[in-house]
Amino acid sequence: MSSSAPVAPKSQNIVWHGETVSRAQREAAMGGKGAVVWLTGLSGSGKSSVARRAEQLLLDQGVHAYVLDGDNVRFGLCRDLGFSPQDRAENIRRVGEVAKLFADACVVVLTAFVSPYRADRDAVRALLPEGAFLEAWVDTPIELCAARDPKGLYEKARQGLIAEFTGVSAPYEEPLRPELRLQTAGQTVDETAAEVIAALRARGLIR
């Protein structure tokens, strides 16, 4: 992560303060590295379930981990945003900045966001050091997502009751080169979460 000031903040009356504790020092003190596992996929694909299970498995192994969930952040950090393309982009921008801070504090962050646009996901990747961002495409067929429909959203979208719903009336741009492609159809949440853990370990991000 760069320690240089962000580009062109709105306010001109602020000054960037450089760090006095390095990332390496934090890693040594915390006994681990920070990373972001960005789970992206359609509503109902299993993102939140996989993120929550992976979080528990990591904590059981003594790894500092935390989930940022797409719905939950809209109750606080992003409660002023809707689902227009512009609001979706701002939602992901804010979450990306929060995830960056968590990762810098040596936490493994598991995010669960539809995040339908490649440019938004790539912008978050650019915030993290090389190798610290894992794009995890939860590749679940839309038919299965709709059959699960845990929130009843697909039916509402098809009735025209929800505008700009990803997969029905708004696009989803599939990842082109994700670090992980998780296919939840035909396997358990534990099996899918184990793939996430294995990927983190293979990259030396956890022991």
DSSP string, 133-151: EEEEEE---HHHHHHH-TT
Cα distance between the two ends of the chain: 22
45 is catalytic: no
Strands (DSSP E) found in the chain: 35-40, 65-69, 108-113, 133-138, 180-182
Give the residue among 62, 54, 169 at the shortest CA–CA distance from 109: 54
Amino acid identity of residue 203, one-letter, is R
- φ and ψ of 113, to 5 deg: -135, 140
**Structural contact between residues 38 and 122, judged by C-beta atoms closer than 8 angstroms:** no
One of 4, 48, 115, 169 is an active-site residue; which one?
115
Which active-site residues does the annotation give? 115
